[in-house]
Chain A
């Protein structure tokens, strides 16, 4: 609020001092906005996108490492009595740690692994998304719009906040469509979900492609849940899932042939 009054006062002073016309005033404001925007911290968009997508292969790699570790420990317990433990620990320290499998193999492995393992990977991805969502609320509310007060706002306003500000910040675009029944059910449609746009396999393997894309949808699910939890809707009362939907015919052709629908269900008392 303070900023507004200061700007208003300076504007009246300016117009009294000299008859500056509206155009130059407009230009001055625009210039200020420009200076403000160029003073904001920036990162390379490409690096951000790559890191964002790399979360999924990373989760799989972590899952695999953990599995190996527990197996190794079991083996060690068996072989403990006849082996000197110190030399074994020493052998484990090697300088050239072997590299993980490349990302495309990790993605393939997720889609081929069994249900429980897949669910564990998804859980890990969702948790990462949850943390991102939790923190991005703070960032967006306090750096972009300090006047937003969520206390007297309803769920719809929070959903709009996700559709506009959160999506804009993370993916550079807004959600395309938001539907609700005003009783806690929301459908968020994103017809060109950015991170998966350049993903494709050879032609004629659409089914496999969708199976491979699945883990990439767990991250935005986690983000939505994180934002909701930081604004007071958390735990059991929120459910969120993602499904593929057909893109409407009137939209320009995009490289990924399906749109994404996020179904959010909030059961508040």
Chain B
């Protein structure tokens, strides 16, 4: 199994999309936008956030230092941050070094096309002040987005 799960966080520190695969044999197994993953999402966001601020502090030179991946004993976390504060996070095994292109593709060809250009979906998933700072619950449930993400990622589940 090459990829385990995929997450999107918005600039209000909310998890707006999560997808977890449980069986490597079946690409449609697992959960989408599950309530049970809420705590995991918060932990994951916290880990990425703190390591990200650490990397930004421990850097020299004029260019901003961005975190790309975090490796633990069991898996590797790949992070792609956009200027608008979105974070695309992919948890994988160790077979492949970089998933930057994959995450970039998801952002530019799937997220932008089906969420940003979709007039029926919100572009800011925190509706009011009470839902910012990690208190939000709204998720991307849009049919086209879920479908095309699924068909894009499913060949990578077993690799």
Contacts and interface: CB of A to CB of B under 8 A. Distances in A.
Contacts of B152: none
Contact of A198 (B114, B122, B124, B141): B114
B122 A212 contact: no
A49 B119 CA distance: 12
B120 A209 contact: yes
Given A102-B124, A198-B113, A198-B114, A255 B119 contact: no
Contacts of B148: 255
A50 B113 CA distance: 12
Interface string A196-224: 00111111000001001000000000000
Interface residues of B, number: 17
A103 interface: yes
| Number of chain A interface residues as a range | 20 to 34
Nearest to A57: B119
Question: Which among B113, B118, B123, B141 has the highest number of chain A CB atoms within 10 Å?
Answer: B118
B119 A203 contact: no
Contacts of A199: 118-120
A255 B120 CA distance: 14
A57 B121 CA distance: 13
A103 B142 contact: no
A200 B119 contact: no
Given A198-B114, A200-B114, A103 B144 contact: no
B71 to A, nearest CB: 35
Please report whether the interface of chain A is mostly helix, strand, loop or mixed according to DSSP: helix
A78 B38 CA distance: 53
A32 interface: no
B143 interface: yes
Nearest to A50: B117
B146 interface: yes
B118 A198 contact: yes
Contact of B123 (A102, A107, A198, A212): A102
Interface string B140-159: 01111110100000000000
Contacts of B119: 53-54, 56-57, 103-104, 107, 199
A53 B122 CA distance: 15
A203 B118 contact: no
A199 B117 CA distance: 8
A121 B119 CA distance: 17
B19 to A, nearest CB: 14
Interface string A93-107: 000000000111001
B144 A198 contact: yes
13 contacts: A54-B119, A102-B122, A102-B124, A103-B119, A104-B119, A104-B122, A198-B117, A199-B120, A200-B143, A201-B120, A201-B141, A203-B141, A203-B146
